[in-house]
Amino acid sequence: MTARRTILIELPKDKCDVDYIRRLMSLTNLAYREYETWIPDLPKTIQHQLYSSFKNFLESLVFGSAPKRWFAEAWVPLKVLRIYANGSMKGDKSAPVVLDFRSNANFKSNVIRLRQVCRSEPGYSIELTMPKWVIERIKEGGDIKYAMIGLKNDKPYLALIAERVVKPYVPSGYRLVVDVNAWSNGVAYGIINPNNRIAEYSPLRPNLRLIDTWYHRAEDLHKRLGKLRRLGFGSTLEAEKMRMRINTLRRKIYAYLRDFVQKKSHELVMKAIRLRAEVLIDDMIEESRRELLEEKIPSGLRKLYLMYTRRFVKLLTTQLQWYGVPYRFERLPSTICPICRHELTQLPDRTMVCTNCGFKAPRDLVPMYWVGSHELDN
């Protein structure tokens, strides 16, 4: 199985011609539709590279689907030349992206060179510092054959795609259960040992109160800003200050949640590897969406939670694939009895009881019992 991981690197705006990148993206869109268009005022080398890497790119299906509309923004696939520390090379020598891992007196060590993709000038090239991410993926046996360049919110980015062939390990009998269902209670995980006992259980909760505070502060400011604007003071210094504070608060929320999902997904993957566990994921479902609605969370915040829940699952599965951890998705309902499948009754303290067989457990732990009992069924 080929596993892939991607990193986005923001490119220095002053060294990149955004319009040039946009033109390359339009050419890419056309290439998806099998049009080879040779534009006289663009460097021949880059156009040649575009079409030659495009053919390889389609076979490797790195990013999957073709753009649906004509002229929709499509990222430009690029070949990558790898020059390793010992001087050996892999890939096309004239590739527009060069990953240079050499480190000696003659070269700056560990750099990425982009040739001809940032500006329409013959021989134009820029250098970037190699992110640690790249060095780690290479150490783990990965290879970076492809890169993409494109715009996101009008900012230029480079995407590097690491590939690695992995064979999932044979699980030891331990299972790591990840319950992604209720953000208000955090993501929860449990470890079920080979004897079907719950060996560990813990919620991974972001600091929701902190997020809530930032969110409402931003909303308040936003309302006050609206008022100022209606009164004709929308371009005053005070309004400008408010706008800056709103943006700062919003950026703080995004950064906090991004960091949280990144750290937690990585921790779980490492836990699974240590135990050689099989991972079972109970993904967010309609039931929990309704739960979020009932909790009267403002819709903006709810959207954010849903977005980061999806991001968490995506990050988790990408890393599980990368490290060869066997995993599957499974519904582990917290309202149905894991022993007799009878509907459970919820007590005021969130304990769930089965009136049919007497099963009793805290609501958040019910999914973990499902995993144990499945084994008994077989």
Residues binding Zn ion (CB under 5 A): 337, 339-340, 342, 354, 356-357, 359
Residue whose CB is less far from Zn ion, 66 or 340: 340
Query: How many residues are there in the chain?
Result: 378
> Whole-number minimum distance, CB 178 to Zn ion, in Å?
24
Residue whose CB is less far from Zn ion, 39 or 336: 336
Helix residue ranges per DSSP H, 5-131: 18-32, 44-60
- Tell me the one-letter amino acid at 63: F
Residue whose CB is less far from Zn ion, 117 or 337: 337
| Cβ proximity of 80 and 101 under 8 Å | no
> Whole-number minimum distance, CB 218 to Zn ion, in Å?
46
Output phi, psi for 61, to 5 deg: 50, 45
Residue whose CB is less far from Zn ion, 158 or 354: 354
Residue 331: strand, helix, or coil? coil
Residue whose CB is less far from Zn ion, 45 or 351: 351
Residue 206: strand, helix, or coil? coil
> Whole-number minimum distance, CB 65 to Zn ion, in Å?
44
> Whole-number minimum distance, CB 361 to Zn ion, in Å?
11
Residue whose CB is less far from Zn ion, 54 or 370: 370
- Tell me the one-letter amino acid at 186: G
Q: How far apart are the first and last CA of the chain?
A: 28
> Whole-number minimum distance, CB 336 to Zn ion, in Å?
9
Q: Residue 112, Cβ neighbours under 10 Å: how many?
A: 21
Residue whose CB is less far from Zn ion, 247 or 335: 335
| CA 77 to chain centroid | 20
Residue whose CB is less far from Zn ion, 56 or 373: 373
Residue whose CB is less far from Zn ion, 192 or 354: 354
In 3D space, the residue among 288, 281, 343, 344 whose CA is nearest the CA of residue 312 turns out to be: 281
> Whole-number minimum distance, CB 281 to Zn ion, in Å?
24
Distance CA 363, CA 374 (A): 18
Distance CA 116, CA 120 (A): 7
> Whole-number minimum distance, CB 344 to Zn ion, in Å?
8
Helix residue ranges per DSSP H, the chain: 18-32, 44-60, 132-139, 208-230, 237-275, 286-294, 299-322, 366-377
Residue 100: strand, helix, or coil? strand
In 3D space, the residue among 285, 278, 279, 297 whose CA is nearest the CA of residue 335 turns out to be: 285
> Whole-number minimum distance, CB 345 to Zn ion, in Å?
11
The residue with tokens 């946009």 is: 22
> Whole-number minimum distance, CB 367 to Zn ion, in Å?
15
The residue with tokens 């999957």 is: 64
